[in-house]
Amino acid sequence: MARVKSSTVALALVLLLMTLVGDCYGALEFGYYKKRCTKVDAEAVVFSVVKKHFNEDKDTVADLIRLQFHDCFVRGCDASILLEGQGTEKTAPPNLSVRGFEIVEEAKVALDRRCPGIVSCADIIILAARDATFLGGASWYKVETGRKDGRISKASEALQLLPKPSIPVPQAVKLFAQHGLNTEDFVYLLGCHTVGTSHCDNFQDRLYNFHNTGKPDPAMSGGLLKSLKKTCPRNTVSNNETFLDQTKGSEFVMDNGFFKKIMKGEGILEVDQQLAIHPLTKDIVRRAAEDNRVFTTKIGPAMRKLALVGVNTNGEVRLGTCKKVR
Protein backbone atom coordinates (compact mmCIF):
# COMPACT_ATOMS: atom_id res chain seq x y z
CA MET A 1 0.00 0.00 0.00
CA ALA A 2 1.63 3.20 -1.08
CA ARG A 3 3.15 6.27 1.06
CA VAL A 4 2.28 9.80 2.92
CA LYS A 5 3.86 13.10 3.98
CA SER A 6 2.98 14.81 7.21
CA SER A 7 1.64 18.35 7.71
CA THR A 8 0.52 19.28 4.17
CA VAL A 9 -1.02 15.87 3.74
CA ALA A 10 -2.77 16.02 7.10
CA LEU A 11 -4.30 19.37 6.11
CA ALA A 12 -5.33 18.04 2.70
CA LEU A 13 -6.88 15.01 4.33
CA VAL A 14 -8.86 17.10 6.81
CA LEU A 15 -10.18 19.29 4.00
CA LEU A 16 -11.12 16.24 1.97
CA LEU A 17 -12.89 14.56 4.86
CA MET A 18 -14.87 17.74 5.51
CA THR A 19 -16.37 17.31 2.05
CA LEU A 20 -17.37 13.75 2.86
CA VAL A 21 -19.21 14.26 6.12
CA GLY A 22 -22.96 14.42 6.49
CA ASP A 23 -25.34 11.76 5.22
CA CYS A 24 -22.46 9.52 4.12
CA TYR A 25 -23.90 6.06 4.11
CA GLY A 26 -27.40 6.35 5.51
CA ALA A 27 -28.97 5.13 2.25
CA LEU A 28 -26.83 2.00 2.02
CA GLU A 29 -28.47 -1.32 2.81
CA PHE A 30 -27.84 -5.03 2.60
CA GLY A 31 -29.31 -6.53 -0.56
CA TYR A 32 -29.88 -3.08 -2.08
CA TYR A 33 -30.15 -4.47 -5.63
CA LYS A 34 -32.63 -7.26 -4.91
CA LYS A 35 -35.56 -4.91 -5.36
CA ARG A 36 -33.94 -2.63 -7.92
CA CYS A 37 -32.43 -5.18 -10.30
CA THR A 38 -35.00 -7.97 -10.37
CA LYS A 39 -33.93 -9.58 -13.64
CA VAL A 40 -30.56 -10.69 -12.31
CA ASP A 41 -28.82 -11.35 -8.97
CA ALA A 42 -26.29 -8.51 -9.12
CA GLU A 43 -24.05 -9.86 -6.35
CA ALA A 44 -24.00 -13.32 -7.94
CA VAL A 45 -22.92 -11.83 -11.28
CA VAL A 46 -19.98 -10.07 -9.64
CA PHE A 47 -19.01 -13.22 -7.75
CA SER A 48 -19.09 -15.27 -10.98
CA VAL A 49 -16.77 -12.83 -12.76
CA VAL A 50 -14.35 -12.66 -9.81
CA LYS A 51 -14.29 -16.45 -9.45
CA LYS A 52 -13.49 -16.90 -13.13
CA HIS A 53 -10.50 -14.57 -12.83
CA PHE A 54 -9.45 -16.13 -9.52
CA ASN A 55 -9.39 -19.59 -11.13
CA GLU A 56 -7.13 -18.20 -13.86
CA ASP A 57 -4.87 -16.06 -11.67
CA LYS A 58 -4.54 -16.23 -7.88
CA ASP A 59 -3.16 -12.66 -7.87
CA THR A 60 -6.79 -11.63 -8.31
CA VAL A 61 -7.19 -11.69 -4.51
CA ALA A 62 -4.47 -9.12 -3.86
CA ASP A 63 -5.45 -7.07 -6.91
CA LEU A 64 -9.06 -6.53 -5.87
CA ILE A 65 -8.37 -5.93 -2.18
CA ARG A 66 -5.76 -3.33 -3.11
CA LEU A 67 -8.12 -1.75 -5.63
CA GLN A 68 -10.71 -1.18 -2.89
CA PHE A 69 -8.12 0.34 -0.56
CA HIS A 70 -6.71 2.70 -3.18
CA ASP A 71 -10.20 3.81 -4.22
CA CYS A 72 -11.64 4.34 -0.74
CA PHE A 73 -8.65 6.25 0.65
CA VAL A 74 -9.04 8.96 -1.99
CA ARG A 75 -12.44 10.76 -2.14
CA GLY A 76 -14.08 7.77 -0.47
CA CYS A 77 -15.45 4.61 -2.07
CA ASP A 78 -16.75 6.22 -5.27
CA ALA A 79 -14.92 4.37 -8.08
CA SER A 80 -12.94 7.52 -8.90
CA ILE A 81 -9.84 5.34 -9.33
CA LEU A 82 -11.44 3.73 -12.39
CA LEU A 83 -11.78 6.93 -14.41
CA GLU A 84 -9.35 7.28 -17.30
CA GLY A 85 -7.74 10.43 -18.66
CA GLN A 86 -4.89 12.83 -18.11
CA GLY A 87 -4.25 13.57 -14.44
CA THR A 88 -6.72 11.05 -13.02
CA GLU A 89 -6.05 8.94 -9.91
CA LYS A 90 -5.14 6.00 -12.10
CA THR A 91 -2.11 7.93 -13.41
CA ALA A 92 -0.65 8.72 -9.97
CA PRO A 93 2.61 6.85 -9.20
CA PRO A 94 1.14 4.89 -6.24
CA ASN A 95 -1.62 3.59 -8.54
CA LEU A 96 0.48 2.57 -11.53
CA SER A 97 0.83 -0.95 -10.11
CA VAL A 98 -2.84 -1.27 -9.11
CA ARG A 99 -4.61 -4.08 -10.98
CA GLY A 100 -8.11 -5.50 -11.31
CA PHE A 101 -9.68 -2.75 -13.42
CA GLU A 102 -10.67 -5.19 -16.16
CA ILE A 103 -12.49 -7.42 -13.66
CA VAL A 104 -14.69 -4.56 -12.47
CA GLU A 105 -15.31 -3.49 -16.07
CA GLU A 106 -16.30 -7.02 -17.08
CA ALA A 107 -18.80 -7.22 -14.23
CA LYS A 108 -20.19 -3.78 -15.10
CA VAL A 109 -20.75 -4.74 -18.75
CA ALA A 110 -22.43 -8.00 -17.73
CA LEU A 111 -24.74 -6.24 -15.27
CA ASP A 112 -25.70 -3.42 -17.61
CA ARG A 113 -26.84 -5.93 -20.22
CA ARG A 114 -29.62 -7.06 -17.88
CA CYS A 115 -30.00 -4.12 -15.53
CA PRO A 116 -28.65 -0.99 -17.26
CA GLY A 117 -27.56 1.97 -15.19
CA ILE A 118 -28.56 0.50 -11.84
CA VAL A 119 -25.45 -1.13 -10.32
CA SER A 120 -22.71 1.38 -9.56
CA CYS A 121 -19.04 0.84 -10.29
CA ALA A 122 -18.36 1.84 -6.67
CA ASP A 123 -20.46 -1.08 -5.42
CA ILE A 124 -18.84 -3.48 -7.88
CA ILE A 125 -15.40 -2.66 -6.42
CA ILE A 126 -16.65 -3.39 -2.90
CA LEU A 127 -18.44 -6.61 -3.90
CA ALA A 128 -15.48 -7.83 -5.95
CA ALA A 129 -13.04 -7.21 -3.07
CA ARG A 130 -15.37 -9.08 -0.69
CA ASP A 131 -15.59 -12.03 -3.09
CA ALA A 132 -11.80 -12.09 -3.58
CA THR A 133 -11.21 -11.96 0.19
CA PHE A 134 -13.49 -14.97 0.61
CA LEU A 135 -12.01 -16.92 -2.32
CA GLY A 136 -8.56 -16.30 -0.83
CA GLY A 137 -9.54 -18.11 2.36
CA ALA A 138 -11.09 -15.53 4.72
CA SER A 139 -14.58 -15.79 6.20
CA TRP A 140 -17.53 -14.54 4.16
CA TYR A 141 -18.91 -11.16 5.17
CA LYS A 142 -21.90 -9.10 4.07
CA VAL A 143 -21.53 -5.59 2.67
CA GLU A 144 -24.04 -2.81 2.27
CA THR A 145 -24.66 -1.53 -1.25
CA GLY A 146 -26.25 1.55 -2.77
CA ARG A 147 -23.16 3.67 -3.46
CA LYS A 148 -23.08 6.11 -6.34
CA ASP A 149 -20.14 6.87 -8.60
CA GLY A 150 -17.98 9.99 -8.38
CA ARG A 151 -17.13 12.29 -11.29
CA ILE A 152 -13.87 13.78 -9.95
CA SER A 153 -10.53 11.96 -10.08
CA LYS A 154 -7.22 13.72 -9.40
CA ALA A 155 -3.75 12.17 -9.45
CA SER A 156 -2.53 14.88 -7.06
CA GLU A 157 -4.96 13.72 -4.38
CA ALA A 158 -3.94 10.09 -4.75
CA LEU A 159 -0.29 11.07 -4.46
CA GLN A 160 -0.97 13.06 -1.28
CA LEU A 161 -3.42 10.82 0.50
CA LEU A 162 -2.27 7.25 -0.06
CA PRO A 163 0.07 6.13 2.77
CA LYS A 164 3.66 5.27 1.89
CA PRO A 165 5.42 1.99 2.81
CA SER A 166 7.62 3.90 5.24
CA ILE A 167 4.82 5.67 7.12
CA PRO A 168 5.44 5.47 10.90
CA VAL A 169 2.92 3.34 12.78
CA PRO A 170 1.55 6.19 14.99
CA GLN A 171 1.00 8.38 11.93
CA ALA A 172 -0.69 5.49 10.10
CA VAL A 173 -2.95 4.80 13.08
CA LYS A 174 -4.03 8.46 13.10
CA LEU A 175 -4.60 8.42 9.34
CA PHE A 176 -6.80 5.34 9.52
CA ALA A 177 -8.67 6.79 12.51
CA GLN A 178 -9.57 9.84 10.41
CA HIS A 179 -11.32 7.37 8.11
CA GLY A 180 -13.24 5.77 10.99
CA LEU A 181 -10.90 2.77 11.22
CA ASN A 182 -9.43 1.78 14.59
CA THR A 183 -6.00 0.31 15.35
CA GLU A 184 -7.18 -3.28 14.95
CA ASP A 185 -8.73 -2.44 11.59
CA PHE A 186 -5.41 -0.90 10.52
CA VAL A 187 -3.44 -4.00 11.51
CA TYR A 188 -5.83 -6.43 9.83
CA LEU A 189 -6.02 -4.36 6.65
CA LEU A 190 -2.23 -4.33 6.43
CA GLY A 191 -2.46 -8.05 7.12
CA CYS A 192 -3.85 -8.30 3.59
CA HIS A 193 -0.18 -8.16 2.63
CA THR A 194 -0.38 -11.89 3.28
CA VAL A 195 -1.20 -11.86 -0.45
CA GLY A 196 0.44 -9.78 -3.15
CA THR A 197 3.90 -8.52 -4.05
CA SER A 198 5.99 -5.36 -3.84
CA HIS A 199 8.60 -3.90 -6.18
CA CYS A 200 12.16 -3.19 -5.09
CA ASP A 201 11.74 0.57 -5.02
CA ASN A 202 9.29 0.23 -2.12
CA PHE A 203 11.86 -1.32 0.23
CA GLN A 204 15.33 -1.00 -1.35
CA ASP A 205 16.39 1.65 1.17
CA ARG A 206 15.91 -0.93 3.93
CA LEU A 207 18.60 -3.07 2.34
CA TYR A 208 21.39 -0.53 1.90
CA ASN A 209 20.68 2.89 3.40
CA PHE A 210 17.96 2.73 6.02
CA HIS A 211 16.99 6.27 7.07
CA ASN A 212 20.27 7.54 5.55
CA THR A 213 22.43 5.49 7.93
CA GLY A 214 24.34 3.75 5.14
CA LYS A 215 23.31 0.47 6.76
CA PRO A 216 20.42 -2.01 6.43
CA ASP A 217 17.31 -1.84 8.60
CA PRO A 218 18.35 -3.61 11.84
CA ALA A 219 14.79 -4.94 12.22
CA MET A 220 15.17 -7.13 9.12
CA SER A 221 16.38 -10.70 9.61
CA GLY A 222 19.78 -11.57 8.15
CA GLY A 223 18.36 -14.33 5.99
CA LEU A 224 15.76 -12.09 4.39
CA LEU A 225 18.31 -9.31 3.90
CA LYS A 226 20.62 -11.65 2.02
CA SER A 227 17.78 -12.92 -0.15
CA LEU A 228 16.41 -9.49 -1.00
CA LYS A 229 19.85 -8.15 -1.94
CA LYS A 230 19.91 -10.75 -4.70
CA THR A 231 16.46 -9.65 -5.86
CA CYS A 232 17.24 -5.93 -5.61
CA PRO A 233 20.96 -5.23 -6.26
CA ARG A 234 22.48 -2.02 -4.92
CA ASN A 235 22.37 1.10 -7.14
CA THR A 236 20.12 -0.44 -9.75
CA VAL A 237 16.63 0.43 -10.90
CA SER A 238 14.84 -2.89 -10.93
CA ASN A 239 11.33 -4.00 -11.80
CA ASN A 240 11.89 -7.10 -9.70
CA GLU A 241 9.38 -7.86 -6.99
CA THR A 242 8.95 -10.19 -4.07
CA PHE A 243 6.05 -11.65 -2.11
CA LEU A 244 4.95 -9.55 0.84
CA ASP A 245 4.32 -12.79 2.73
CA GLN A 246 7.50 -14.83 2.75
CA THR A 247 5.68 -18.02 3.81
CA LYS A 248 6.33 -20.55 1.06
CA GLY A 249 3.14 -22.13 -0.22
CA SER A 250 0.72 -19.55 1.18
CA GLU A 251 1.65 -16.47 -0.85
CA PHE A 252 -1.85 -16.30 -2.35
CA VAL A 253 -3.80 -17.36 0.75
CA MET A 254 -5.61 -15.08 3.18
CA ASP A 255 -4.07 -16.54 6.33
CA ASN A 256 -1.88 -15.44 9.22
CA GLY A 257 1.43 -16.30 7.54
CA PHE A 258 2.23 -12.60 7.16
CA PHE A 259 1.90 -12.02 10.91
CA LYS A 260 4.11 -14.98 11.73
CA LYS A 261 6.79 -13.72 9.38
CA ILE A 262 6.91 -10.13 10.59
CA MET A 263 7.35 -11.43 14.14
CA LYS A 264 10.55 -13.06 12.86
CA GLY A 265 11.86 -9.88 11.20
CA GLU A 266 10.71 -10.98 7.77
CA GLY A 267 8.48 -8.08 6.81
CA ILE A 268 9.17 -6.59 3.38
CA LEU A 269 7.86 -3.06 3.84
CA GLU A 270 9.05 -0.88 6.71
CA VAL A 271 5.53 -0.27 8.02
CA ASP A 272 4.79 -3.99 7.91
CA GLN A 273 7.84 -4.80 10.03
CA GLN A 274 7.09 -2.01 12.47
CA LEU A 275 3.64 -3.51 13.14
CA ALA A 276 5.34 -6.34 15.02
CA ILE A 277 7.52 -3.97 17.03
CA HIS A 278 5.52 -0.87 17.89
CA PRO A 279 3.66 -0.85 21.25
CA LEU A 280 0.45 0.30 19.55
CA THR A 281 0.23 -2.79 17.35
CA LYS A 282 2.53 -5.59 18.50
CA ASP A 283 -0.04 -7.30 20.75
CA ILE A 284 -2.60 -7.39 17.92
CA VAL A 285 0.03 -8.89 15.64
CA ARG A 286 0.94 -11.50 18.23
CA ARG A 287 -2.67 -12.61 18.67
CA ALA A 288 -3.15 -12.89 14.92
CA ALA A 289 0.09 -14.86 14.56
CA GLU A 290 -0.96 -17.32 17.27
CA ASP A 291 -4.41 -18.09 15.87
CA ASN A 292 -5.24 -18.08 12.16
CA ARG A 293 -8.95 -17.59 12.93
CA VAL A 294 -8.29 -14.13 14.32
CA PHE A 295 -7.29 -12.74 10.95
CA THR A 296 -9.62 -14.81 8.77
CA THR A 297 -12.67 -13.75 10.80
CA LYS A 298 -11.73 -10.12 11.49
CA ILE A 299 -10.47 -9.04 8.10
CA GLY A 300 -14.04 -9.11 6.75
CA PRO A 301 -15.43 -6.59 9.27
CA ALA A 302 -12.38 -4.36 8.68
CA MET A 303 -12.93 -4.48 4.91
CA ARG A 304 -16.62 -3.68 5.45
CA LYS A 305 -15.71 -0.62 7.54
CA LEU A 306 -13.24 0.47 4.87
CA ALA A 307 -16.07 0.19 2.33
CA LEU A 308 -18.05 2.82 4.29
CA VAL A 309 -15.41 5.54 3.94
CA GLY A 310 -16.73 8.70 2.29
CA VAL A 311 -19.63 6.94 0.58
CA ASN A 312 -21.68 8.98 -1.90
CA THR A 313 -25.35 7.99 -2.07
CA ASN A 314 -26.65 11.04 -3.94
CA GLY A 315 -24.60 10.96 -7.14
CA GLU A 316 -24.99 9.04 -10.37
CA VAL A 317 -24.39 5.56 -11.70
CA ARG A 318 -22.10 5.28 -14.71
CA LEU A 319 -23.76 3.63 -17.67
CA GLY A 320 -22.17 0.84 -19.73
CA THR A 321 -18.61 1.37 -18.51
CA CYS A 322 -16.67 2.30 -15.37
CA LYS A 323 -13.88 4.09 -17.28
CA LYS A 324 -15.65 7.39 -17.89
CA VAL A 325 -18.59 9.52 -16.86
CA ARG A 326 -21.35 10.55 -19.22
Whether 114 and 184 share a structural domain: no
Whether 184 and 150 share a structural domain: no
Separation CA 73–CA 268 (nearest Å): 22
Instruction: Give, as one character, the DSSP assignment of residue 139.
Output: P
**Host domain of residue 155:** 29-162
Last residue of a domain, one of 137, 162, 187: 162
How many separate domains does the chain show? 2
pLDDT by residue, tens only, the chain of 326 residues = 443 333 333 334 433 443 333 333 458 999 999 999 998 999 999 999 999 999 999 999 999 999 999 999 999 999 999 999 999 999 999 999 999 999 999 999 999 999 999 999 999 999 999 999 999 999 999 999 999 999 999 999 999 999 999 999 999 999 999 999 999 999 999 999 999 999 999 999 999 999 999 999 999 999 999 999 999 999 888 789 999 999 999 999 999 999 999 999 999 999 999 999 999 999 999 999 999 999 999 999 999 999 999 999 988 999 999 999 86
Candidates 53, 70, 211, 278; catalytic one: 70
In a domain, 84, yes or no: yes
Whether 70 sits among the annotated catalytic residues: the reply is yes
Whether 180 and 266 share a structural domain: yes
Question: Does the annotation list 193 as a binding residue?
Answer: yes
Question: Does the annotation list 74 as a binding residue?
Answer: yes
Question: Does the annotation list 89 as a binding residue?
Answer: yes
Q: Which CATH number fits the domain that encloses residue 45? A: 1.10.520.10
Separation CA 299–CA 293 (nearest Å): 10
Question: Does the annotation list 163 as a binding residue?
Answer: yes
Last residue of a domain, one of 136, 162, 188: 162
- Cβ-count burial of 212 within 10 angstroms (0-12 exposed, 13-18 middle, 19+ buried)? exposed
Whether 121 and 192 share a structural domain: no
Question: Does the annotation list 194 as a binding residue?
Answer: yes
In a domain, 18, yes or no: no
Q: Give every CB contact of residue 308 below 8 A, 6+ residues apart in sequence.
A: 24, 25, 28, 77, 144, 180
